[in-house]
């Protein structure tokens, strides 16, 4: 029913380095009736694991026609090391998401297309790796599309999407894990709060790419309107388990690349036992 909690492996997507190179130049995009400037950041660390299973990627930021027509895509995926082939599935998730972004229809609502894409990818991964009705591999998904001043997202699993606005960090998606399922029951008057936060399987994922039946996805129903100065942060659980939201928010006051770099350095400096793989991605909007 549930995915096992994750270990991690070495990804060929994006940069997999101890400390990333310095940030690139801002990207200016002309949308109908407006212009926007974006800055990007990313950083990744293997933690104490033997391999890196986080994968990430951005759409082509040098393709002016694609930028103007489609906007920007950022995608993050955390392979589930408790199952086999976590690295391969996280890479596949990133690649398929970037391909889907380029071929989306202009005639259908974004939310419906994103949800259908996630469900189809989940089914494909399960068909490839599943056996006897059980998942054989899996990965989380955080896919973000920005067009004009509208933010769209689709998530599955426990990797997180945050909005940084006015000096504060707001989580935009829900963690799909057993703890949240138990908390939902507690809110409805079933079970206890203590059971939810201390259950031995509280970190087990209830939805992810590759699960037998994807019952939970977070999909933005409409485009969320961005404001000047907003920043988007995407992180795997290795980051937010090592750092508090206050610590992450403090770093998000920096430019995206410096924010991600410092965030990963902060987490590494804590020398936590069993430190998971860590990936942070950030986009600023002006």
CA geometry: angle 286, 41, 34, nearest 5 deg: 20
Torsion over CA: 145, 66, 252, 42 (sign)? positive
Per-residue pLDDT of the chain (286 residues; tens, 9 = 90+): 344 444 443 333 333 333 344 446 899 999 999 999 999 999 999 999 988 999 999 999 989 999 999 999 999 999 986 666 888 999 999 999 999 999 999 899 999 999 999 999 999 999 998 888 888 899 999 999 999 999 999 999 999 999 999 999 999 999 887 666 766 666 777 777 776 666 666 667 888 999 998 888 999 999 999 999 999 999 999 999 999 999 999 999 999 999 999 999 999 999 999 999 999 999 999 9
Domain definitions of the chain by residue range: 51-227
What are the residues facing 218 on neighbouring strands? 155
DSSP at 166: T
Q: Global pTM?
A: 0.87
The answer to whether domain 51-227 has CATH 3.60.40.10 is yes
């Amino acid at each position: 029913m549930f995915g096992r909690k994750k270990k991690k492996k070495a990804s060929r997507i994006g940069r997999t380095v101890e400390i990333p190179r310095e940030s690139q130049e801002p990207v200016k995009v002309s949308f109908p009736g407006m212009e926007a400037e974006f800055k990007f950041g990313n950083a990744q660390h293997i933690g104490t694991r033997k391999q890196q299973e986080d994968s990430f990627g951005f759409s082509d930021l040098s393709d002016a026609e694609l930028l103007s027509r489609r906007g920007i895509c950022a995608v993050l995926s955390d392979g589930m090391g408790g199952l086999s082939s976590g690295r391969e599935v996280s890479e596949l998730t990133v690649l398929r998401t970037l391909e889907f972004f380029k071929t989306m229809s202009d005639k259908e609502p974004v939310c419906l297309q994103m949800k259908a894409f996630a469900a189809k990818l989940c089914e494909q991964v399960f068909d490839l790796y599943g056996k006897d009705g059980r998942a054989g591999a899996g990965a989380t998904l955080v896919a973000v599309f920005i067009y004009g001043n509208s933010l769209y997202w689709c998530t599955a699993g426990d990797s997180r999407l945050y909005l940084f606005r006015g000096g504060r960090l707001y989580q935009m998606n829900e963690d799909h894990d057993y703890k949240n399922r138990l908390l939902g029951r507690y809110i409805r008057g079933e079970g206890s709060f203590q059971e939810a936060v201390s259950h031995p399987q509280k970190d087990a994922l209830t939805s992810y790419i590759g699960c037998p039946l994807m019952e939970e996805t977070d999909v933005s129903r409409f485009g969320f309107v961005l404001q000047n100065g907003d920043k988007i942060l995407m992180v795997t659980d290795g980051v937010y388990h090592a750092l508090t939201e206050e610590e992450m928010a403090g770093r998000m006051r920096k430019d995206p690349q410096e924010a991600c770099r410092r965030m990963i350095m902060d987490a590494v400096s804590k020398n936590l036992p069993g430190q998971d793989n860590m990936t942070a991605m950030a986009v600023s909007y002006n």
